[in-house]
Structure 1
Amino acid sequence: MKSYALIHQLLNLVEILEEENNGREISLQEFAGFLLNQVGGPLGEPANSDTRFGNEEMYAQSAAFQLDNSIGRLFVYMSRYAKSYIKKTLDGTALQSGEDFTALAILLTHEQLSKTELINYNLQEKASGMEVIRRLLAAGLIRQWDNPQDKREKYVGVTPAGRKLMYRVFVEIGDVSKVITGDLTTAEKVNLLYLLQKLDNFHYALHEKKAIVTKQDLKGLLDS
């Protein structure tokens, strides 16, 4: 087989990716993103091309355009673009925010969840998560009942009205997602998906462990 050397390289890359994921079985999609990231080559430091920045305070500009700071800033920008698009798409429905949509979407895939589980899966603080649940209950999109083993805990589940609404909204959210990914090529989308999934795996583990509660926790994470 003339391509033996290439196959050997691919097997080595699979081993590297498995090691990075602690031996977890990896999907073809994950490997495709990993492979694109491996062969893409370094892009170097980002250019100071954000037109929202002026010409004053060069030290502040230098700090803003450091690699990690640039990535963090662009994440903030992207979240605001996405939030704006999603809010416009949900206009005219009983869903008032992206958090309402994601909470209902998560709940749709479960027979039931406790309120605490739903808030945790939706990556929210307790107060804002309870407000989302109250809105969904008031709109008749979910229902709640007592946990028979613990009366202090409530279960929630999607109602027929909530399911009907979600399947209608899914189509429009799909269009929003295409706007969010902009003019990226398919290869770029696969690469971005791989990188974002890798970041989400890292941060969701911290979220589940409640590892970051204070500013000191953040500093401790960097020092470890």
Structure 2
Amino acid sequence: MMYNLVNELLSLVKTYENDSLNPSEDLNAFRRWLNERDPGKATSKKQSPVWKGKASGRSADSVINTSLVHLYRYAKMHAKAAIAGSAFSTPDEFIYLITLTSAGEMSKTELIKQNIHDKPAGTLIIKRLFDKGLIVQKSSGIDKRSTIVQITEKGNDELKQSMDKIRLASANVTTPLSGNEKIELIALLGKLEDFHYAKNFEKN
């Protein structure tokens, strides 16, 4: 029996289980993971992708911007399907609640800022959540002009009831990507977000 090979395979399986976001016992998934971590493949020069209009001068910037807009629309379709029949009227409402759940209570201005909305649009979302009893508002003890918002018990319950569908909607958007590709994409999108956040908010 080839014990060295068996031991190496066991070691690879342990690495696969620890490194992958959603490790599967499917052999094809393990094989794909092995191919992705192949050093020869990693060091080889990546082929430049082909896109419509490239030959006539359409830039990579144009393609990226269009893809981001399209992906936002696809994500919105999945999110709308996930909240059908729930207390939420729009995906923005549960996103605001998720922000309050993860970051805690905050001012209305900060909540709107974190979700990259202009003030009128963000104020309307907060008003709908307040009218439904999903959040409460109170005056800030530091700045009387500032209003603090926090999620209510009802808001937490509504969010919990919808979370499985919301997680599925999120997974549907990224279904074709492997675990490693998702990590790479998070890093790239984070770089873009950090740049634009600093440019638009940190100087204010």
TM-score, normalised relative to structure 1: 0.66
SS at match of 2:51: coil
Identity of aligned residues (%): 31
SS at match of 1:175: helix
Contact kept, 8 Å, 1:45 with 1:67, in 2: the verdict is: no
Q: Which amino acid aligns with 2:48?
A: G
Partner of 1:162: 155
Query: Which stretches in structure 2 are left out of the alignment for 5+ residues?
Result: 1-18, 21-38
Partner of 1:221: none
Change over 3 Å in CA distance of 1:79–1:210 after alignment to 2:
farther
**1:189 and 2:169 matched:** no
- Aligned equivalents of 1:113 and 1:44: distance in 2? 45
Report Cα offsets for 1:63-90 as digits up to 9, x if no partner: 5x32110111001100000011101111
How far the C-alpha of 1:155 sits from its partner, in A, is: 0.8
**Corresponding residue to 1:137 among 105, 130, 137:** 130
- Aligned equivalents of 1:134 and 1:206: distance in 2? 28
Partner of 2:145: 152
Partner of 1:127: 120
Q: Which amino acid aligns with 1:44?
A: S
Partner of 1:44: 48
Report Cα offsets for 1:149-185 as digits up to 9, x if no partner: 3332211100000011112222111111111002222
Change over 3 Å in CA distance of 1:148–1:186 after alignment to 2:
closer
Contact kept, 8 Å, 1:100 with 1:132, in 2: the verdict is: yes
How far the C-alpha of 1:146 sits from its partner, in A, is: 1.2
- Runs (4+) of structure 1 exceeding 4 A deviation are none
Partner of 1:177: 170
Change over 3 Å in CA distance of 1:39–1:107 after alignment to 2:
farther
Taking only aligned residues, the RMSD between alpha carbons, in angstroms, comes to 2.6
- Aligned equivalents of 1:66 and 1:149: distance in 2? 49
Q: Which amino acid aligns with 2:74?
A: Y
Partner of 1:113: 106
Partner of 1:103: 96
Aligned length: 166
Contact kept, 8 Å, 1:46 with 1:70, in 2: the verdict is: no
How far the C-alpha of 1:137 sits from its partner, in A, is: 0.2
- Aligned equivalents of 1:77 and 1:208: distance in 2? 25
How far the C-alpha of 1:42 sits from its partner, in A, is: 3.2
Change over 3 Å in CA distance of 1:149–1:193 after alignment to 2:
closer
Structure-to-structure mapping, 1:183-222, within 5 angstroms: 183-209=176-202
Change over 3 Å in CA distance of 1:97–1:39 after alignment to 2:
farther
Contact kept, 8 Å, 1:46 with 1:67, in 2: the verdict is: no
Partner of 1:62: 56
Query: Which stretches in structure 1 are left out of the alignment for 5+ residues?
Result: 1-27, 30-35, 49-57, 212-224
Contact kept, 8 Å, 1:103 with 1:118, in 2: the verdict is: yes
- Aligned equivalents of 2:135 and 2:43: distance in 1? 47
SS at match of 1:145: strand
